[in-house]
Amino acid sequence: MSRIGKKAVAMPGGVSATIEGDTLNVKGPKGTLTMGMSEHIDYKIEGEEIQVNPANETKTARSFWGMHRTLVSNLVQGVTEGFSKTLEISGVGYRAQAQGQKLKLQLGFSHDVDIDVPQGIEVKTPDQTTVIISGMDKQAVGQLAAEIRRWRKPEPYKGKGIKYQGEYVFRKEGKKK
């Protein structure tokens, strides 16, 4: 039995959900998100909550149960509050600047790195060493953050690079003479 799957997903005021064919649509104050439904899972909208249950007692249905409940929960949270990730840039000369739907990074290469920001995602740079990525879709926010971080992962000797806020970088001691 899935402990997570047993809990119904509560929909706060201003959020509505509909099932159309094989898609679940959740509409809220920030917009609308959709998710493809699995044939192994039953989705029921009962009043102010969405109930997620396995369609049958197969191992596949039970293994999808908790994950799909979490995906539905992420849809509801995305249309009400949204998601955000904060990246910190450390290193001499490393900086970031948001320019509309582009993010310009200077990371010690001979050229600047320009990253196109997907539709529905917002990127802010309150200062030159902080990048805040926010949006409704949790997967898209995390994917963009991972793609930005991939350009310069934090290195263990000086700690230079791009890291998530609160991420611990294991530091190593350098060579000794």
Q: Taking the mean position of all CA atoms in its chain, how far away is CA 94?
A: 24
For the chain (length 177 residues), average pLDDT per consecutive 10? 84 91 92 92 91 91 92 94 95 93 94 94 95 95 96 93 94 89
46, 106 Cβ separation under 8 angstroms: no
Could you say which of 3.90.470.20, 3.30.465.10, 3.90.930.12, 3.30.565.10 is the CATH number of the domain covering 3-80? 3.90.930.12
pTM: 0.88
In terms of Cα–Cα distance, which of 50, 51, 18 is closest to 32? Answer: 18
Would you kindly state where each structural domain of the chain is located, as residue ranges?
3-80, 83-164
CB atoms within 10 A of CB 48: 14
Determine the pLDDT at residue 1. 62
Q: Specify the CATH class of 83-164 in words.
A: alpha beta
Distances (CA, A) of 100 to 51, 97, 103, 114, 137: 40, 10, 8, 12, 19
Residue 120 CA to residue 104 CA, distance in Å, equals 18
Determine the pLDDT at residue 6. 87
Strand partners, 102: 99, 116
Q: Tokens in use for 6?
A: 């047993």
Residue 138 CA to residue 152 CA, distance in Å, equals 22
Q: What pairing do the DSSP bridges indicate for beta strands 130-135 and 41-46?
A: unpaired
61, 55 Cβ separation under 8 angstroms: yes
30, 136 Cβ separation under 8 angstroms: yes
Ramachandran region, residue 108 (left: φ > 0; alpha: ψ -120 to 50; beta: rest): left
The reply to whether 83-164 shares the fold of 3-80 is yes
